[in-house]
Amino acid sequence: MQRRPETVPLSFRWITVLLLLLFAPALFAHHSFPAEFLEDQETTLTGVVSKVWWKNPHARFSIDVADDAGQTASWELQTHALSTLRQQGWTETTLVPGMRITVHGNLARRNRQKIFIRWLDLPDGTRLTPAGTVSGEDYAISKNFYANPIHYPHDITGTWDNSHKFRPSVDDLDPKPTPYTDEGRRRFESQVFGDDPALRCLPVGMPRLFGAPRGMQILDAGDFYLMVFETGEQMRRVYMDGRTVPDDLEPSYNGFSVGHWKADTLIIETTHLLPGMLDGSGMPMSGPETRLVEEWTVSEDGHEIDRVMTIYDPLYSKPLVRKRGSHRAELALSSEACDPDSFYHDLLEQDGMDEYFRNKGL
């Protein structure tokens, strides 16, 4: 007989959730497939999707499975990272609550009601797999796709110190007063402590990454610039070969960026961003409807870059402008991990733990 989840008092529940969240980075970083699942034990289940977590490092789903006695148990389904799923045609709405599916996969260790997906059948009979294989021919095509050198008027590769002309990314956008629309102001005023992803060690993404003061390394990858930022260990690609946005591209923290040189200025346009914040004060960003235009003007000696970003967003009646600078530096980018411990301590001190997790649906 399948086990029925026990009811846990709220006070114990949020303590458990807190501990899981605090130790989640370590768990995700070190638990490989063999550490969590049994390679030689598989099962097939049929049930109704109840929850969807479309988030990295692993997409997860819950299904309610009824046994022969009519009792229902909740099983967790785990699979690959979102990038892998998207390559196989999965999207955030491939599985939705209420959908009845059949899934086959490896059982978890320690008798947990959890499996790693090998395949699943949708209601219409379509069979999906979370990961595929790449043929040698496909690999050669993808490898050569990024091997076309482009000659630029300036060499901006190397490491840069972004603290040049730095201002904190709080209330640093012009014009003033902030030209909110009614919806923009409503969203700003509804922000509460904990909404800022930076507090929880999540990527702040663009356009806040543009204003970060720490080091940046730029690599010429042929068809695109690869930019590595010390802040949050984030990477950004700026495509320089004139490509257009793929039809099936989903929003991401840093969006999709294309660039071109105009004399001494690199012009970058970014779209397909996730909803987020423009600054540390909580100024909202719509995300999918946001468009960023950057102008990076290189000094005559090539040692400095003046960077100007213009933000177009329907939550504001006028474009917003952020200005920063960079100068060349011999930097060794560090990779210190972010620890969300202080965020949860602040929640405890403010007696806001129950409310925070309740708002998150936990």
pLDDT value for 139: 39
Give me the average pLDDT of each 10-residue run along the chain (362 residues): 42 44 40 81 95 87 90 93 84 94 94 93 92 46 47 90 88 96 96 81 92 92 92 92 89 96 97 95 95 97 96 98 94 73 76 66 60
Could you give the CA distance from residue 25 to residue 201 in angstroms, rounded to a whole number? 10
- Which residue, 32, 19, 96, 26, is CA-closest to 63? 96
pLDDT value for 145: 41
**Cis peptide bond upstream of 207, omega within 30:** yes
pTM: 0.68
Could you give the CA distance from residue 114 to residue 239 in angstroms, rounded to a whole number? 40
Contact predicate 315/180, CB 8 Å: yes
Segments making up each domain of the chain, as ranges: 31-128, 146-331
pLDDT value for 356: 66
Contact predicate 259/269, CB 8 Å: yes
Domain 31-128 - what CATH class?
Answer: mainly beta
pLDDT value for 335: 66
